[in-house]
Structure 1
């Protein structure tokens, strides 16, 4: 199997059908919040690969990936069942959507986009900057980390899935409070870009990661 073998440090449930993989950082691996890796694994006879964006604010002895678990999926249930000491393979990091500690941030998350969004917000807070997280989901994940951010002075706005008027209002209210980031699937990030423009902003100034 191609890629760099990495050891699983832990697997934790962080929301409904959502887990985080904490992986031991291999030699030479250096990544910024917002970047992603290609993960390879062999649950049965076939090697499967998926892209996962980092959900840890930094890379030290370990780093973290957030995985949405589809009970009927061919890879995510297997990943969720991994144990300490198991191995997966990664390539990367990849991606130009990064946070380098220089600005206040407004991180917009649609569903699984909460992983990189909370990482960017935590990295901003750790660097002494303000952070806003606007999170649209029916069943939120990473609520403990979001509550910790709120306790530290960050703004966290929850929006129910499909309630796009509230999402647009939140974008209009907070869009000028920092560098805009958006992580999520195509429908979400397309709506975000349109809402930024409708509010008088330039969506080209936002750092948007489309999960497809």
Structure 2
């Protein structure tokens, strides 16, 4: 019996694949909603407000990248975790998916067990943490319950990936953090693709920090550090 809970939207046009994904996620304890084209998937995402979306990229009606970008622009779904599921297995495609802000990327054919493990990992990372809801360091304040970030008390919009990266550093100020640890914390595991996109996410995060961008330091040969001392 699984302790998992939560609502997951699966947007997949191949019905046998959608049913396979749905069956395994339901068996793992999740409530599953299915959509078989991009437009319907986007409509259900806004209506049902799922806890996570499994999104195919090659969809009829509206492709997955377009659906993803529109969901990120809408306040109702801007922080909803997304696992991209696609037959596009090239490294460049995976990097593109992660760089636009997807929480993970799984290629077909896939192991249903691996899919469930990745979904579990994403759901654990996005759970709100009772107790110490807010964490601060220097001019940064982060609210973990609603994933809000404030820079000198002015709200700044971050993607869920940017938020998780900054939170990891803010909770460990003035201490160099290893790249692999950052990768495992944010994406669940470390590999070459995620390592390459980590730097892109950091670059985008710094661009949103304005005059405080230099507080996020690159520590050569190690990773990154938040310097607020």
| Higher Cα radius of gyration | 2
TM-score scaled to structure 2, two decimals?
A: 0.27
Larger strand proportion of the pair: 1
Pick 1 or 2: higher relative contact order, CA cutoff 8 A, min separation 6: 1
Larger helix proportion of the pair: 2
